[in-house]
């Protein structure tokens, strides 16, 4: 894991001091709320329906047991005993008081954490593949490059007041576990024929009101030129992106309106002018950062652990959890463990302070002190010995975190919705909880296989509904909460934007409607076919006529 | 309007020339881009120094063939949230503009460091403001993470220096 050196530490402490001053000026009235707003947002502090909300950065989703314990303590001291993991691998606290925030940030700085650029119209916290450093299919550890981008983008003087927020994600795999294609800039690490590292760069992806899949602006930017290329893209965007309408201000609109070829030419012209400058990433810095992400001291183990195999045979429940939540590790005898935060008791992505403390202990025992947050609002222990999976499963079960539903219908991405958010039309959490209850039977979930359901409480799409195999969008119908259904989206390597299937359903009817669609899929699926693949095979029409039979009657 | 240059407040020797008024031979006037486009020959012929004010929607690319005409370029911030001019300043330096770059309009004190790092030489401030009022904006950070136009050594280089010193 990356550790701060004296420069990082000093910088973050100075940022805390600066923000402390800004809060004091706000409290004394020297700064108006309007003036304070962009300053607090750049430090992750939102004003929501009932209170302030602080979003703490977890750069590329990797954090330590010590950091997790600090988050638990913050949840107890400043919040109401829980935290909420977000789709950008961050964590949110919902009830801090403004005057407490500087102290809260100082406590975070003690464990090398911060809230810098978790909001605002600047370059946001960089995200990455949550399996980085552990998974078989990567060409490099994406966190190395995410850290380089994090440092370059931190309080960048030129890109702090962009037209709109700007999100960057990094992956080193053909499998997209970080919705890379839906970022303002998505980076896929590649090796060229000479074995050199570079980046396939996607620009202009995004969700929100106008969902768009990114487009490739450059197929191979050499590693040392990464920062100059990013700077060229950002400069062209900052100068030319629309400022007249905040809903048309993201780079995706600039790509769309300018055209990819023209925009690429502008980026390339700017890049050519700045490529051979101090923006080149020096080899020693790449190696310095790479060293922090060196593999942990793995033991030499057999590829298959006999005890583990026996336990799977003896304990069907354990076996189901293994089938659902475990992914192959590149090191023989190890496994990647997904820990679902889609449990029966709490809203999706939520975790109690006690669970945080317990998970910190477990991470120390079983996974080299390290924890990952995923964009699907779950957690990962990246390096667990197969021989210890059973013990870990038992201990996770004791704290209510052994739900084996990763990638299943109840593993939903869900925005906070009207329960917390001032922008929302509808509540998302109660609908998610009702769907969870409807599909509580795990056999039924496993029979359905991978099914990604995502819920947003408004058109801003924080719940990623556009890329759900089934997406629900909350809409307001004369003061009533309604939900529009989209089908066929995907945020993975088979990226697609879902299509609206028909008129919205009331809150009372929406869960039945979802079940109707899923039942129909079960009736017509081919063997082993996912919901998404069935939908792609037969198209929207059969699903539509199943969901709205009365429309057909009326037409007949 | 007074100007903040470095840590000092200085009087402004320049005046903004209202469109329609005649160009004084002594120069030291700032014109709009419209006026420059219209009266380019007259302005080029003027023996005194000439400046131009660009709105945040006017890229320096529009005057790329006339940079040597100007001793001063003012970049406007219609709202402190409109950050286009930070990039314009960087672009002007990259295009080789050697005159003064000045920020005018709505700038928060907390943004002063950003201006300085992007290569602004001066900032127009409100009548009555003191250098002390703006002192809050200077020196919040001992070293930045990235290179910009200014000469601050980024943390990356400081690390390299430390490394070199150690070996």
Residue with tokens 């993201």: A250
**Which of A30, A157, A163, A285 is most worth mutating to test chain B (most B CB atoms within 10 A of its CB)?**
A157
Gap between the Cα atoms of A272 and A232, Å rounded: 9
Measure in Å the smallest separation between the Cα of B110 and chain A Cα atoms: 8
B118 φ, ψ to 5°?
A: -85, 0
Interchain pair A14, B86: CB under 8 A: no
How many CA atoms within 13 Å lie on the side-chain side of A75?
Answer: 21
Q: Which residue of B has its CA nearest to A7?
A: B155
Instruction: Give residue B65's pLDDT.
Output: 94
Banded model confidence at residue B139, pLDDT cuts 50, 70, 90? low
Q: Contact B110/A22, CB-based, under 8 Å?
A: yes
Rounded Cα–Cα distance for residues B94 and B60 (Å):
11
Contact A182, A203 (CB under 8 A): no
What's the pTM value of the predicted model, to 2 decimals?
Answer: 0.96
**What is the CATH number assigned to the segment(s) B3-139?**
3.20.20.70
User: Which residues in chain A have Cβ-Cβ distances shorter than 8 Å to B84?
Assistant: 238-239, 243
What's the pLDDT score for residue A254?
A: 98
Cβ of A243 within 8 Å of Cβ of B84? The answer is yes
Between CA A355 and CA A340 the distance in angstroms is 12
Q: Give A138's strand partners.
A: A173
Cβ pair A182, A213 in contact under 8 A:
yes
Look at residue A234 and give its three-state secondary structure: helix
Q: Can you read off the two tokens belonging to residue B145? A: 């993470």
Three-state secondary structure call for residue A377: coil
pLDDT, mean over chain A = 96
**Nearest Cβ partner for B145 among A35, A152, A161:** A152
Class of domain A134-290: alpha beta
Judged by CB atoms closer than 8 Å, whether chains meet at B80 and A161 is answered as yes
- Token pair of B134 as six digits: 């703006």
Q: What is the pLDDT of residues A537-555, one digit of tens each?
A: 999 999 999 999 876 555 4
Indicate the fold that domain A306-398 takes in CATH: Sulfite Reductase Hemoprotein; domain 2 (3.90.480)
The set of residues, in sequence order, having a beta carbon less than 8 Å from that of A203 and lying 6+ positions away, is A184, A185, A186, A214, A215, A217, A233, A251, A255, A263
DSSP per-residue codes, B41-85? HHHHH-SS-EEEEE-TTS-GGGGTT-GGGEEEEEEEESSTT--HH
Contacting residues of B for A159, CB less than 8 Å apart: 83, 86
Q: Nearest C-alpha of chain A: how many angstroms from B29?
A: 26
**Cβ pair A151:B155 closer than 8 A:** yes
Residue B56 has a CB neighbour count (10 Å cut-off) of 18
Give residue B138's pLDDT.
Answer: 61
CB B46 within 8 A of CB B39: no
Give residue B110's pLDDT: 85
Q: Choose among B82, B159, B160: nearest Cβ to A161.
A: B82
- Chain A interface, mutation test: which of B118, B134, B154, B155, most A Cβ atoms within 10 Å? B155
Give the phi and the psi of residue A505 in degrees, each rounded to 5.
-110, 150
Structure tokens at A406: 């990763």
Distance CA B30, CA B71 (A): 10
In angstroms, what separates the C-alpha of A39 from chain B's closest C-alpha? 8
- Would you kindly state where each structural domain of chain B is located, as residue ranges? 3-139
Closest to B87 (Cβ–Cβ): which among A22, A152, A239?
A239
pLDDT computed for residue B18 by the predictor = 87
Q: Do A239 and B88 touch (CB under 8 A)?
A: yes
Where exactly does CATH 3.30.413.10 map onto chain A?
134-290, 413-555
- pLDDT at position A556 is 47
Name the nearest CA neighbour of A116 among A203, A1, A18, A234: A18
Instruction: Report yes or no: A171 and A189 within 8 Å, Cβ to Cβ.
Output: yes
Say which of B91, B113, B160 has its CB closest to residue A157: B113
Q: How far is CA A42 from CA A15, A22, A122, B69, B155, in A?
A: 11, 12, 7, 39, 21
Q: What is the mean pLDDT of residues B129-134?
A: 84
Written as six digits, the tokens of A203 are: 């620009």
Gap from B148 CA to chain A (nearest CA, Å): 8
pLDDT higher at A219 or B141: A219
Q: Report the distance separating Cα A252 and Cα A56, nearest Å.
A: 26
pLDDT reported for residue B109: 84
From 3.40.50.11540, 3.90.480.20, 3.90.1150.10, 3.40.50.620, which CATH number describes the A6-110 domain?
Answer: 3.90.480.20
Q: Do A11 and B82 touch (CB under 8 A)?
A: no
Chain A residue with Cα closest to B82: A161
> Over the stretch A122-146, which tens digit does the pLDDT of each residue have?
999 999 999 999 999 999 999 999 9
Q: What is the pLDDT of residue B133?
A: 81
> Which residue in B has a C-alpha nearest to residue A273's C-alpha?
B94
Location of each CATH 3.90.480.20 domain in chain A: 6-110, 306-398
- Give yes or no for a contact between B76 and B104, defined as CB atoms under 8 angstroms apart: yes
Q: Which chain A residues are Cβ-neighbours of B115 within 8 angstroms? A: 157
The pLDDT of residue B131: 84
Whole-angstrom distance, CA of residue B130 vs CA of residue B146: 30
Most distant CA atoms of chain A, gap in Å: 75
Select from B94, B111, B115 the Cβ nearest to the Cβ of A273. Answer: B94
Q: How far apart are CA A162 and CA B56, in angstroms?
A: 12
Distance (Å) from the alpha carbon of B86 to chain A's nearest alpha carbon: 5
Q: Is A280 helix (H, G, I), strand (E, B) or coil?
A: coil
Question: In the prediction, which pLDDT does A551 show?
Answer: 64
Of A386, A485, A493, the C-alpha closest to A129 is A493
CA B98 from chain centre, in angstroms, equals 11
Predicted confidence (pLDDT) per residue in B63-87, tens digit: 999 999 999 999 999 999 999 999 9
The residue among A152, A158, A284, A285 with the most chain B CBs within 10 A of its CB, best to mutate, is A158
User: How far apart are alpha carbons A533 and A123 in whole angstroms?
Assistant: 35
The answer to whether the CB atoms of B114 and A160 lie below 8 A apart is yes
3-state secondary structure A471-506: EEEEEEECCEEEEEEEECCECCCCCECCEECCCCEE
Which CATH fold would you assign to the domain A413-555? Answer: Sulfite Reductase Hemoprotein; domain 1 (3.30.413)
**ipTM, interface predicted TM-score of the complex:** 0.96
State percent of chain B over pLDDT 70: 98
Q: Contact, A364 vs A65, CB < 8 A?
A: yes
Q: What is the pLDDT of residue B164?
A: 87
Determine how β-strand B50-54 pairs with β-strand B29-32.
Answer: parallel
Q: Which of B87, B110, B113 is facing A238, going by the closest CB pair?
A: B87
Q: What are phi and psi of B123, to 5 degrees?
A: -135, 130
Answer for the pair A367, A337: CB distance below 8 angstroms, yes or no.
Answer: yes
d(CA B73, CA B51): 6
Under-50 pLDDT residues of chain A: 555-556
Supply angle C-alpha B89, B94, B95, rounded to 5. Answer: 95
């Amino acid at each position: 894991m990356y550790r701060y050196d004296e420069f990082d530490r000093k910088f973050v402490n100075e940022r805390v001091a600066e923000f402390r001053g800004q809060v004091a000026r706000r409290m004394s009235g020297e700064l108006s709320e309007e003036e304070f707003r962009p300053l607090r947002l750049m430090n992750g502090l939102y004003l929501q329906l009932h209170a302030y909300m602080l979003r703490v950065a977890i750069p590329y989703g990797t954090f330590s047991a010590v950091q997790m314990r600090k988050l638990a303590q913050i949840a107890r001291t400043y919040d109401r005993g829980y935290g909420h993991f977000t789709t950008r691998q961050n964590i949110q606290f919902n009830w801090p008081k403004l005057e407490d925030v500087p102290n809260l940030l100082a406590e975070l700085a003690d464990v090398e954490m911060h809230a810098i650029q978790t909001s605002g119209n600047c370059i946001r916290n960089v995200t990455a593949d949550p399996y980085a450093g552990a998974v078989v299919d990567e060409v490099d550890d994406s966190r190395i490059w995410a850290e380089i981008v994090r440092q370059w983008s931190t309080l960048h003087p030129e890109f702090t007041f962009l037209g709109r927020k700007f999100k960057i994600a990094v992956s080193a795999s053909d499998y997209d576990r970080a919705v890379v294609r839906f970022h303002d800039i998505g980076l896929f690490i590649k090796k060229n024929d000479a074995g050199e590292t570079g980046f396939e760069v996607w620009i202009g992806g995004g969700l929100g009101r106008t969902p768009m899949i990114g487009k490739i602006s450059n197929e191979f930017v050499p590693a040392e030129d990464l920062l100059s290329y990013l700077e060229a893209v950002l400069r062209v965007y900052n100068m030319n992106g629309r400022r007249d309408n905040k809903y048309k201000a993201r780079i995706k609109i600039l790509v769309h309106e300018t055209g990819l070829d023209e925009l690429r030419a502008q980026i390339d012209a700017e890049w050519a002018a700045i490529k051979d400058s101090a923006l080149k990433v020096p080899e020693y810095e790449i190696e310095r950062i790479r060293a922090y992400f060196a593999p942990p001291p793995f033991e030499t183990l057999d590829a298959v652990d006999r005890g583990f195999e026996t336990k799977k045979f003896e304990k069907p429940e354990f076996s189901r959890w293994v089938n659902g939540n475990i992914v192959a590790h590149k090191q023989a005898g190890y496994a990647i463990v997904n820990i679902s935060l889609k449990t029966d008791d709490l809203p999706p992505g939520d975790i109690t302070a006690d669970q945080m403390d317990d998970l910190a202990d477990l991470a120390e025992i079983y996974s080299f002190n390290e924890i990952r947050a995923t964009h699907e609002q779950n957690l990962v222990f990246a390096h667990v010995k197969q021989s210890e999976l059973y013990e870990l499963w038992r201990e996770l079960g004791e704290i209510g975190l052994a739900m084996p539903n990763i990638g299943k219908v109840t593993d939903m991405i869900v925005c906070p919705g009207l329960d917390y958010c001032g922008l929302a039309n509808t509540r998302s959490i109660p609908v998610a909880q009702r769907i969870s209850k409807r599909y509580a039977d795990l056999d039924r979930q496993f029979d359905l296989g991978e099914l990604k359901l995502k819920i947003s409480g408004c058109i801003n799409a924080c719940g990623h509904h556009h890329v759900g195999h089934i997406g629900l969008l909350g809409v307001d119908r004369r003061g009533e909460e309604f939900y529009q259904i989209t089908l066929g989206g995907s945020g993975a390597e088979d990226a697609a934007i879902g299509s609206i299937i028909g008129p919205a359903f009331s809150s009372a009817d929406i869960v039945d409607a979802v079940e109707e669609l899923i039942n129909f899929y079960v009736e017509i699926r081919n063997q082993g076919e996912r919901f998404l693949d069935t939908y792609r095979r037969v198209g929207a029409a059969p699903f539509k006529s199943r969901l709205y039979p009365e429309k057909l009657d009326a037409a007949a | 309007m007074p100007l903040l240059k470095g840590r000092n407040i200085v009087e402004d020797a320049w005046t903004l020339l209202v469109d329609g008024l005649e160009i004084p031979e002594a120069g030291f006037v700032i014109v709009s881009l419209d006026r420059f486009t219209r009266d380019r020959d007259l302005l080029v012929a003027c023996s005194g120094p000439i400046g131009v004010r660009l709105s945040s929607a006017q890229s320096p690319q529009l005057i790329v063939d006339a940079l040597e005409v100007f001793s001063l370029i003012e970049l406007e911030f219609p709202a402190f949230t409109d950050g286009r001019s930070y990039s314009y300043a960087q672009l002007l330096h990259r295009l080789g503009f050697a005159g003064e770059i000045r920020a005018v309009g709505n700038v928060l004190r907390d943004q002063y460091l950003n201006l300085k790092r992007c290569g602004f030489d001066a900032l127009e401030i409100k009548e009555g403001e003191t250098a002390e009022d703006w002192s809050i904006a200077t020196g919040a950070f001992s070293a930045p993470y990235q290179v910009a136009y200014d000469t601050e050594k980024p943390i990356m280089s400081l690390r390299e220096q430390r490394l070199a010193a150690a070996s």
